[in-house]
Structure 1
């Protein structure tokens, strides 16, 4: 087995921070619906919206991130159906930092954000 490469989290470039800020100011309908359940430690932990990572020179952003538990939550909107390979690569890089990824579809969140929040809370209780 080849030796494992060291994974490094670097500085996030300004353009990524600006994109994240823009996304926080203009969330999708699904992001806004789920944020109602994740904000203000309602699940017992702090979540950040649109958190950015620079991993080995690659820039990534997740919809919600809990640093304390190293838990990322992604809502897959319509664009994700065309980016399966890109999403898989991004998820692999993020998981190299020992961050667990949870993925939900737009439809799932919009149909019942409370149900999605309960599923996230179940994961939180296990971590």
Structure 2
């Protein structure tokens, strides 16, 4: 089984076109001066004491903001995503979800929502 680090590297190598487009605008502190990480693991201690992890598409540690770019596979993972969002929210993280289509078709609206969340400390 590959390490978490290797899994994250693999995910970064297999980005969707929407993730690539969004990352080009988030990287290097381009959005409001905030640093974003791509495919960065967030560790969680389970109720059974095991260390588990989630790998969000993009993460801003300073603002505790997770951004997800959801492709068609997420149509079949709604329960998993709902549980994952709850676990991350319980850690004090804010989650913004966008469909790949939203990112591809209206990147300005996506960036406006992200920017608003960074400035107002609100996820919407």
TM-score, structure 1 length as denominator?
Answer: 0.84
Q: What does 1:16-27 align with in structure 2 at a 5 Å threshold? A: 16-27=4-15
- Is 1:98 the counterpart of 2:86? The answer is no
Report how many aligned residue pairs link the two structures: 115
Shift of 1:115: 2.1
* Among candidates 25, 29, 39, match of residue 27 of structure 2: 39
Q: What does 1:1-127 align with in structure 2 at a 5 Å threshold? A: 15-43=3-31, 44-56=33-45, 57-127=51-121
Shift of 1:113: 1.9
Larger relative contact order, structure 1 or 2 (CA cutoff 8 Å, min sep 6): 1
Unaligned runs of at least 5 residues, structure 1 = 1-12
Where 2:91 maps in the other structure, the secondary structure is coil
Where 2:21 maps in the other structure, the secondary structure is helix
Unaligned runs of at least 5 residues, structure 2 = 46-50
Where 2:40 maps in the other structure, the secondary structure is strand
Shift of 1:103: 0.4
Stretches (4+) displaced over 6 A: none
Q: Which residue of 2 aligns with 1:8?
A: none
Shift of 1:79: 0.7
